[in-house]
Structure 1
Amino acid sequence: MSDFFHPKFPDSNSLRTQAKKRMPAFAFEYLEGGCIDEIGLHRNANELQDVRLRSQLLTPSVTPDTSVELFGDTYAAPFGVAPVGLQGLMWPNAPEILAKAAAKQNIPYVLSTVSSSSLERIAEVSEGKAWFQLYNPTNDDTRADLLKRIKAAGYKNIMVTVDVPTFGYRVNDIKNGLSMPPKMNLKNIIEMLKNPAWLLATAKAGEPQMETLKPYMPPGMPADQLASFMNTTVMGPVDAEALQVLRDKWDGNLIIKGVVNAEDVAKAVAIGADGVVLSNHGARQLDCGESSIAGLQQLQGQYKDKIKLLFDSGVRSGTDVAAAMASGADFTFLGRTFVYAVAALGENGGEHAINMLLKQYIQVLSQLKCAHSRDLPKFLAK
């Protein structure tokens, strides 16, 4: 494993500060933004940080084993890179940078349907190790072709997002007129010029586009029609019936992303899903929703051996990873922290973030005297 680590940026907050200096405001605010008043953003972080772990200091010291087995693969750590749309807008070539780093360091990278890199390109640079996040297409032919491409590229795991029945009401995105590519209004042009590193990298990489979806877009489609295209073509309804269709058509692992309660997890089990992601979309969809950690805690181990419980939303550190694992998660994902790292450090950002999180996580396990991630629930303070 590469040991690249920049000591000037030892945590997510320092990466965030540097990223904000190097990104246009419209891109940074898209990454940061939550729904409406952004109360849910704080709820995610606060309730996750309320989890308490208890050390067992008078037991023998341990050398923690951070490896985790998941869906037949063994990963080096219990965290991966969550799907984040428009990554290439936030930092040019971010999907490729992160996918390469994840493959090199043996953690999963999940490619968003609305990424700026094609699913075929990410399969190539990740050496076939990436996962794919899927929005359910409304058109049967589009869905069939997309699944065919995913399978042909060698993906084994698809993560179907179910928590976007509507577009999130994100105040800053509305103010900024965010689109892909970004609208060239005066405010956004000024923001680009104020960030020369981003501008030069973008000029070198080329204007970001939704590469995976290009074959399904009308030629020359105006940017202001993108939202309508997404709503009518890409983001179809995802209820139990639609998921059963996907389950019947996909012979790899099916993970359902965006559930937060036991009722939906029970339906996922009945459908035959292999995993669920306890997630509220990073609080970007429902401001008054319950936190992901609250949803995970309510399950209290009742789905052990029935389905894998993955977790995201609010995870920013190795401590957060440990808290989620102790609360019953089988695996965790982070989104914003990885994008901060790439914006802050460019090509080295992915490896830095992975090593930073791993160092933090190992410190927690060593302090607890916890030998393995699977033992963390024993250290949860009741």
Structure 2
Amino acid sequence: MSDYFNSAYPDSADLERRAQQRMPAFAFDYLQGGCNEEVGVRRNRDDIQAVQLHSELLKPAVSCDLSVELFGHRYSAPFGIAPVGLQGLMWPKCPEILAASAAEGNIPFVLSTVSSAGLERIAEITQGNAWFQLYNPTDSATRTDLLRRISAARYRVLVVTVDVPTFGFRPRDIKNGLAMPPTMTWSNIIRMLTRPRWLLETARAGKPEMQTLKPYMPKNLLATELAGFMNKTVMGPVDSEGLKAIRDMWKGPLVIKGLTSEYDVDKAVELGADAVVISNHGGRQLDIGESSIRALQRIAPKYREKIKIFMDSGLRSGPNIASALACGADFTFLGRTFVYGVAALGKRGGEHTINSLKMQLQQIMRQLGCGTVAQLSRHRVVWPPV
């Protein structure tokens, strides 16, 4: 991978500001927002930023190795690109751009079921090295066919999201009438016209649609009917029995995403899952829920010998990644930051964001005197007690 880095946007906050200037407000609101009063989004950020690490400066100098081995593959960094739905709405060809950057940078790219790119196209771009995020289709025929396609496209890992038993109550999206493609209200039309670069790129790419799900969607489905279709067909609740059926059909590594309790992690271990993602869906489902980093600190010591533990939700930077790893995560995933990167910088946004996060993380590890990702837990300051 090239060392491309745009010094005008050195961190996530800079990318976010630039992305907001280039995206229509309804798309930016979908990406940035949470549910209800968005307390959960803020809690994720505040609790991650409260983690502290200490340096060991007088020991012999060490070189920094960011690489991590997962499921028989060694990745170049301890972070990947989390699944984000409707990416093509936020910036045209966003999933294709990020998938290509991840493949070149040797980090995982997780394709969302509700992405604007088809699973076969992303498999082609990544040469079979992507991961796939699955919601549990309530229709068994849809689930079986999706798993057939995922397997045929040689996806490396299956990630089943279980924390969407209902749609999150998201006031921003309700006000904006968010749909895929976006509802053509006068307000949204005006918002699109004020973002000419987004509008031009969208015209070139074609209107964003959920390409992976198109074979299962009724023809001429109205935007007003989309939520009902998703709820009835694609995004059903997932209990242990539903996961058993998926485990039986999927022969590769299985990751359960969206857990914050010991009860659920116990069930994942019993099921034979290979990893769990400690996650609260980025604060987008339960506003009064526990932050992911707090849940991680409680869960990791109890289960680190039984199952791989990943984390997402609230991570935006190299320091955040280091904090999560120090608190017991084996690996981390970021969503918003990568989409900010593409919206801000276009085709080179994924490349820039990967390099920026690596630079930040390397600087932190050198400052700590930490040679490997696995050693970060030794540097965690445990006062005040969690």
Q: CA separation in 2, counterparts of 1:313 and 1:71?
A: 22
Comparing 276-285 with 52-61, which one deviates more in the overlay?
Answer: 52-61
Q: CA separation in 2, counterparts of 1:367 and 1:244?
A: 45
Q: Which amino acid aligns with 2:228?
A: S
Corresponding position of 1:305: 305
Q: CA separation in 2, counterparts of 1:52 and 1:234?
A: 41
Q: CA separation in 1, counterparts of 2:191 and 2:66?
A: 41
Corresponding position of 2:55: 55
Q: Which amino acid aligns with 2:284?
A: R
Task: Say if 2:258 is the partner of 1:289.
Answer: no
Task: Say if 2:22 is the partner of 1:22.
Answer: yes
Scaled by the length of structure 2, what TM-score is found?
0.98
RMSD: 0.6
Task: Say if 2:151 is the partner of 1:151.
Answer: yes
Contact kept, 8 Å, 2:282 with 2:313, in 1: the verdict is yes
Q: In structure 2, the residue corresponding to 1:141 is in which secondary structure?
A: helix
Q: CA separation in 2, counterparts of 1:65 and 1:366?
A: 10
Q: CA separation in 1, counterparts of 2:189 and 2:213?
A: 26
Task: Say if 2:371 is the partner of 1:371.
Answer: yes
Corresponding position of 1:269: 269
Corresponding position of 2:89: 89
- C-alpha distance after superposition, 1:31-71 (max 9, x if no partner): 01101000011100000111111100111111100000011
Comparing 76-85 with 216-225, which one deviates more in the overlay?
Answer: 216-225
Q: In structure 2, the residue corresponding to 1:286 is in which secondary structure?
A: coil
Q: Which amino acid aligns with 2:316?
A: R
Cα shift at 1:27: 0.2
The number of equivalent residue pairs is 382
Q: CA separation in 2, counterparts of 1:245 and 1:124?
A: 27
Q: In structure 2, the residue corresponding to 1:155 is in which secondary structure?
A: coil
Q: In structure 1, the residue corresponding to 2:69 is in which secondary structure?
A: strand
Corresponding position of 1:113: 113
Contact kept, 8 Å, 2:300 with 2:309, in 1: the verdict is no
Q: Which amino acid aligns with 1:24?
A: P
Corresponding position of 2:230: 230
Task: Say if 2:20 is the partner of 1:35.
Answer: no
Q: CA separation in 2, counterparts of 1:28 and 1:245?
A: 37
Q: CA separation in 2, counterparts of 1:73 and 1:60?
A: 30
Cα shift at 1:304: 2.0
Q: CA separation in 2, counterparts of 1:230 and 1:357?
A: 34
Q: Which amino acid aligns with 1:34?
A: G
Q: CA separation in 2, counterparts of 1:85 and 1:359?
A: 27
Q: CA separation in 2, counterparts of 1:137 and 1:350?
A: 30
Unmatched 5+ residue regions in structure 1? none
Q: Which amino acid aligns with 1:95?
A: P
TM alignment of 1:104-253, pairs within 5 A? 104-253=104-253
Corresponding position of 1:98: 98
Q: CA separation in 2, counterparts of 1:116 and 1:333?
A: 20
Contact kept, 8 Å, 2:300 with 2:329, in 1: the verdict is no
Corresponding position of 1:70: 70
Contact kept, 8 Å, 2:277 with 2:309, in 1: the verdict is yes
Structure 1 runs (4+) greater than 4 angstroms displaced: none
**Structure 1 pair 152–300 and aligned structure 2 pair: CA distance change class (3 A):** closer
Cα shift at 1:300: 4.2
- C-alpha distance after superposition, 1:334-359 (max 9, x if no partner): 00000000000000000000000000
Q: In structure 1, the residue corresponding to 2:159 is in which secondary structure?
A: strand
Q: Which amino acid aligns with 1:309?
A: I
Corresponding position of 1:279: 279
Q: CA separation in 1, counterparts of 2:159 and 2:300?
A: 23
Q: CA separation in 1, counterparts of 2:237 and 2:166?
A: 10
Q: Give the share of equivalent positions with the same residue, in percent.
A: 61
Corresponding position of 1:11: 11
Q: Which amino acid aligns with 1:260?
A: T
Comparing 86-95 with 241-250, which one deviates more in the overlay?
Answer: 241-250
Q: CA separation in 2, counterparts of 1:143 and 1:229?
A: 15
Unmatched 5+ residue regions in structure 2? none
